[in-house]
Chain A
């Protein structure tokens, strides 16, 4: 049952469960994220990390439990409605429109003209163009505006997708393995990017790269078999014997 309590948290997940033919991929999960917080979820393969993101953004429907974002229940909304409430989500593999230019990728993501007729009569105004330029600069692609997205490097594609979310100014930004396949330098740049964009919003990141997690995380949650194993600051979590067991025990 969706809970009726309101909280001061930006995102509050309570008693969330989803099962697939009896298998519980996420089991009675409770998770709270503050505004201005950059929260990282880690855990071994199959722990249910991506499923949690799927549940928040509506890609998967929960079996029971509640997901509240700014005290609005999300579990009953459809995907595009959740996005319009201010939730942005980046997929594990870069998901951009390969046949469109960088500019067009950002323009298509611009949060106006989202209806059929709105998009037919959408105007590329000065306001739109300057917003696109601003975001392109932030994601270090301002020199590639006319490049077809398919021609970008893997790291640049990851940034472009982050940019496509930022242009919508989401209050909750969810990133699934944002530095996978990136060079060391690109990782550093991405860490800086994430630190700068976490101001004024909540950011939820799934990541495997512990060094990277250490650099960005305000708080860490360790998931194991759909349940929370440990949560807290990175250095606390790293000392937790249960976490060591799961990560190093086998």
Chain B
């Protein structure tokens, strides 16, 4: 029991923070929002997976990846390929010159299903691919870079270039990938209509459940000796190395885990939104994931979920009514967070929340216990 409490929930403040978040996403949002808006929130929450991956990799590990979109995309495309194949049964595609292959292939004069699409007709393989392939890809990148001590800005730039390569490849090879439009018209999952309201509700709850699961798993990592080693590597890499650790292995592992988490988000994105396209893979989405993490607080697993929601609500609101203002606001947010609020929302909360809570308590005539009321869960403690 104490294992669950200390290691997964992160002690009292961590448990309260997670409880508050769970109540908000599992109860408050479904009560307040209509189906359309809830689906939108669900979409935002899939980005939160990528933001959480950056807390581990960047906030704790000190390694900034500008290519988390790669893994989000791999997860999303994996799921989309399965759903597309199901939607492209010979009966559904009878009017095509080659029935039984995805419509965009037919439009591009492709007459047989490419070999790398074949295995994605199996749901089991697809799930396995989503869970393993992105992490495997990260493993190869990680071994190549970290074993040769490539880090810092070099790593950031190389991951960005890989994101560019992947995007250009997807857009350029539209016969195999659906091109710039992506993979669209996804309807059923093993015969079950995923566009129905009930399916959307179910996906929303599965998404929330996975998100909470990922937070718990990340907590476990951060509260272990591994978590303290991550911080140690961030601060004094050489000292860790000369204390007998093979530093590269730790970076490779956390990079793979971050890839796995992002890919999970990508797969859930496809299920909830019903399509996947290169605009969720390249430079811009990847760096947006970084801003979600930066705004929420790069050291806080829970903070980044709020950061992701806030930025995306802002984006939706502004790009509907003042599209011109949005980029100014976004650019300004980048600069402001970096210069004035390096710990983001979580940092602000841990700074001001004791006063706010005290005020609330005295307003309602409650006694102020002399507790360290810092940060219910927004700030992850190091220990």
A contacts B directly in the complex (CB < 8 Å)? yes
Question: Nearest Cβ in chain A — how far from B37, in angstroms?
Answer: 39
What residues of A have a CB within 8 angstroms of the CB of B245 in the complex?
80, 114
Question: Nearest Cβ in chain B — how far from A164, in angstroms?
Answer: 7
For window 85-115 of A, CB contacts with B under 8 Å fall at 88-89, 91, 95-101, 104, 107-109, 111, 113-115
Q: Chain B 204-242, CB within 8 Å of chain A: the 1/0 string?
A: 000000000000000011001110110110011011111
B242 and chain A: residue at smallest CB distance: A89
Asked whether A101 lies within 8 Å of B383 as measured between CB atoms, the reply is yes
What residues of B have a CB within 8 angstroms of the CB of A101 in the complex?
383
What residues of B have a CB within 8 angstroms of the CB of A100 in the complex?
228, 231-232, 382
A170 and chain B: residue at smallest CB distance: B244
What residues of A have a CB within 8 angstroms of the CB of B244 in the complex?
80, 83-84, 111, 114, 168
A99, B299: Cα distance in complex, Å: 13
Asked whether B228 lies within 8 Å of A121 as measured between CB atoms, the reply is no
Asked whether A121 lies within 8 Å of B224 as measured between CB atoms, the reply is yes
What residues of B have a CB within 8 angstroms of the CB of A52 in the complex?
none
Does A19 have its Cβ within 8 Å of any Cβ on chain B?
A: no
Q: Chain A 71-91, CB within 8 Å of chain B: the 1/0 string?
A: 000000011100110001101
With A80-B244, A119-B226 in contact, is A99–B250 under 8 Å at CB?
Answer: no
What residues of A have a CB within 8 angstroms of the CB of B228 in the complex?
100, 104, 107-108
A54, B383: Cα distance in complex, Å: 33
With A57-B242, A95-B238, A99-B235 in contact, is A119–B382 under 8 Å at CB?
Answer: no
Q: Could you say which of A88, A104, A111 has the most chain B C-beta atoms within 10 Å of its C-beta?
A: A104
Does B341 have its Cβ within 8 Å of any Cβ on chain A?
A: no
Q: Chain B 370-383, CB within 8 Å of chain A: the 1/0 string?
A: 00000000000011
Does A212 have its Cβ within 8 Å of any Cβ on chain B?
A: no
Question: Nearest Cβ in chain A — how far from B208, in angstroms?
Answer: 26
Does A1 have its Cβ within 8 Å of any Cβ on chain B?
A: no
With A121-B224, A122-B225 in contact, is A97–B239 under 8 Å at CB?
Answer: yes
Does B196 have its Cβ within 8 Å of any Cβ on chain A?
A: no
Asked whether B246 lies within 8 Å of A80 as measured between CB atoms, the reply is yes
Asked whether A116 lies within 8 Å of B236 as measured between CB atoms, the reply is no
Does B363 have its Cβ within 8 Å of any Cβ on chain A?
A: no
Does B243 have its Cβ within 8 Å of any Cβ on chain A?
A: yes
How many residues does chain B have at the interface if contact means C-beta atoms less than 8 Å apart? Answer: 26
With A99-B235, A100-B231 in contact, is A119–B225 under 8 Å at CB?
Answer: yes
Question: Nearest Cβ in chain B — how far from A141, in angstroms?
Answer: 17
With A97-B235, A98-B235, A99-B231 in contact, is A108–B225 under 8 Å at CB?
Answer: yes
Question: Nearest Cβ in chain A — how far from B63, in angstroms?
Answer: 15
Asked whether B249 lies within 8 Å of A115 as measured between CB atoms, the reply is yes
Does B146 have its Cβ within 8 Å of any Cβ on chain A?
A: no
With A96-B236, A108-B232 in contact, is A122–B224 under 8 Å at CB?
Answer: yes
Does B253 have its Cβ within 8 Å of any Cβ on chain A?
A: yes
What residues of A have a CB within 8 angstroms of the CB of B383 in the complex?
101, 104
Question: Nearest Cβ in chain B — how far from A132, in angstroms?
Answer: 13
With A96-B236, A97-B235 in contact, is A107–B242 under 8 Å at CB?
Answer: no
With A95-B238, A97-B235, A116-B250 in contact, is A108–B382 under 8 Å at CB?
Answer: no
Asked whether B226 lies within 8 Å of A120 as measured between CB atoms, the reply is yes
What residues of B have a CB within 8 angstroms of the CB of A88 in the complex?
242
A79, B245: Cα distance in complex, Å: 9
What residues of A have a CB within 8 angstroms of the CB of B382 in the complex?
99-100, 104
B231 and chain A: residue at smallest CB distance: A99
Asked whether A97 lies within 8 Å of B242 as measured between CB atoms, the reply is no
Q: Chain B 244-286, CB within 8 Å of chain A: the 1/0 string?
A: 1111011001000000000000000000000000000000000
The 7 A-B residue pairs with the shortest CB-CB distance, nearest first, are A83-B244, A122-B225, A119-B226, A119-B225, A95-B239, A97-B232, A116-B253
Provide 12 A-B residue pairs closer than 8 Å at the C-beta atoms, listed in order of the A residue.
A57-B242, A80-B242, A83-B242, A83-B244, A96-B239, A97-B232, A97-B239, A99-B382, A107-B228, A116-B253, A119-B229, A120-B220
Add 6 more A-B contacts to A91-B239, A95-B238, A107-B228 (CB < 8 A): A80-B244, A83-B241, A96-B239, A101-B383, A108-B232, A119-B225
